[in-house]
Structure 1
């Protein structure tokens, strides 16, 4: 993996990405500018209460270590990245815990440091949530790479918070400094959006950080008939995993066929886990389903008879198959004898070739101009 040195007002940090594409840097210009603005405007001598939201690989968390900030992230990847990069910088002391939306903080903060997400709905939700935890005289520092800022971001900020300073763009990054606004999450209508029942037989809804929360994506639509056919042939005590579950629609389709079956839902996004849990509770309240917030399959998860997967092909602003390859490797280690991986993926990514690196048996079940459904097994 590539290690790069981030120079910031307090010194230098050696940072790298654990896993993923080894050629990619673990920080960007938005991290640099956010650190500069926080050190310029927040006096550490006053012992301010600081919260870092959706840091990527620990650059903000470690860079702001003198403030001893709290960390909150939707993604489960931050915990490993933070621990990894803390070990690379032994002189830096940072808290070892990362909160998620499963149990967000209820503390009031003098400063909130936020990476601007790519999606406008999630940004709008975040800003309203920040209004609920930011002190009256507190500051919000929000930054991101300009090419990744969501559409209508200026409008989204104007509707939620009081923008105090729009810092000059540098190195293709932008930081804005804001004051608390009046807008809150209650009764904002954008928190939950969904679809169904129609041909699903149940309704799903999801929080703003969740993939395809307003409509069934066409890849999943191609996969669902094969899920139903495969699940109907499983024994009653089979274990099923909805890996990268999103709103849980794939695992819910399995439960629609066999509601007594033990289905585990797992996702790197805590908002996805919350959404799947809500949807299962509404559609199948007696289900023995379980839910995990994890980057892939937890090592203690055990073996599964069927793993269902629609792998993400992007991580932040990076597009590729590196996430899918990591999930394929984990799936191969967590299949029971005779178990199968059933997945849908973008045709152009050539997953049939990638799967053969981990599974001796791979066959195509279905295809459309953009997607392909594949089944893989160890024997």
Structure 2
């Protein structure tokens, strides 16, 4: 793992967030380097905004922080924390950090977009920009060459304007977009659909997992949520749109549900779904966080968890490890952790190492649901 980005006679010390011992992944990629190399000789107005979208851990924000007023736009709480950490480590001025639902600053001079893999989020961001950018604004996207498909370029053409691409360098590619204000359309409403077998109506903002239907893992877990009058405090860890929280609340009306996700759009969707589906929406308290950082120890009766197996674009199991360790801390004695995962992920071994016990409570051809007790 390289701890420092050195380009153009300048060095930045950058780390992923949260920092781990023996980290094997670096905090920037070839697309970041390509954007920096391409943009370094631009003459920028120190008063006009620079917008940076989807900056994984703040590499771009750090590089441009002294060149003008930077606004970094990300749906990821972890990415924002990483950006703050790296700005401080390099003694750089703060940048403004917004989530993807916030109103953006007017009259930007430069927009840099790390192209997201989720086309729904990309479409949302392109439509935001089409309403916002002036004619002289420079817009450059970047990503891995293998992930910039013809469909990606067609989205840029459809929702923002004329699009051209660069040659690939270190397997990364740039995308140059000229905004066409005649393409501006009203921002789309969140996608909504029903889950009639559970009496739920779900709404999803653009970057929420499984944004157009209930995912099959979540559907399976819904059938195995405990109903017990002794459950007073339940945590839905990695809540997404809150469907597990909603079912837990319906089954256990006496319980307070804490719904946690690192995606701002997920938490906003969860809050809206509580209002749509519950007589008492305040039964669900939804927060953005890095797993269960800072939550009180020994208070929760039950943690429900469907862990992700990637961070940004990297496949990793450290998030599941942190989720299980954090759950062990916040659970009261005899509290329980219930986890669903694909059969091949081997979550049972991790849970047994942390809790000392694990058992299967349900399985099908694709998923296994495990339970560990504290």
Q: TM-score, normalised by structure 1?
A: 0.90
Would you say 1:277 and 2:243 are equivalent positions? Answer: no
Change (3 A) 1:150 1:205: farther
Contact 1:259 1:287 in 2 (8 A): no
* Structure 2 partner of 1:176: 175
1:87 positional shift: 4.0
Match of 1:196 among 194, 197, 200: 194
Change (3 A) 1:351 1:336: same
* Structure 1 partner of 2:326: 330
Q: Which runs of 5+ in 2 are unaligned?
A: none
What is the root-mean-square deviation in Å for CA atoms of aligned residues?
2.2
1:206 positional shift: 0.6
Change (3 A) 1:123 1:151: farther
1:334 positional shift: 1.0
Q: Distance in 1 between matches of 2:102 and 2:306?
A: 27
Aligned pair count reads 368
* Structure 1 partner of 2:310: 314
Match of 1:264 among 249, 258, 262: 258
Q: Distance in 2 between matches of 1:77 and 1:140?
A: 25
Tell me the secondary structure at the aligned position of residue 341 of structure 1: strand
Change (3 A) 1:278 1:66: same
1:141 positional shift: 1.7
Q: Please list, as runs of the form range in 1=range in 2, the aligned pairs for 1:149-160 lying within 5 A after superposition.
A: 149=148, 152-160=151-159
* Structure 2 partner of 1:77: 78
* Structure 2 partner of 1:298: 293
Contact 2:342 2:366 in 1 (8 A): yes
Change (3 A) 1:226 1:212: same
Q: Distance in 2 between matches of 1:192 and 1:246?
A: 14
Tell me the secondary structure at the aligned position of residue 368 of structure 2: strand
- Give CA deviations for 1:121-177 in whole Å, capped at 9, x if unaligned: 211111101223323321222111122336610110110112364222211111122
* Structure 1 partner of 2:65: 65
1:97 positional shift: 5.1
Contact 1:219 1:345 in 2 (8 A): yes
Would you say 1:362 and 2:370 are equivalent positions? Answer: no
Contact 1:261 1:287 in 2 (8 A): no
Would you say 1:244 and 2:238 are equivalent positions? Answer: yes
Q: Distance in 2 between matches of 1:353 and 1:166?
A: 46
Q: Distance in 1 between matches of 2:145 and 2:93?
A: 29
Q: Distance in 1 between matches of 2:3 and 2:162?
A: 33
Q: Please list, as runs of the form range in 1=range in 2, the aligned pairs for 1:203-218 lying within 5 A after superposition.
A: 203-218=201-216
Q: Which runs of 5+ in 1 are unaligned?
A: none
* Structure 2 partner of 1:129: 128
Tell me the secondary structure at the aligned position of residue 199 of structure 1: helix
Contact 1:110 1:137 in 2 (8 A): yes
Change (3 A) 1:304 1:148: farther
**Worse-matched range after superposition: 194-203 or 167-176:** 194-203
Q: TM-score, normalised by structure 2?
A: 0.91
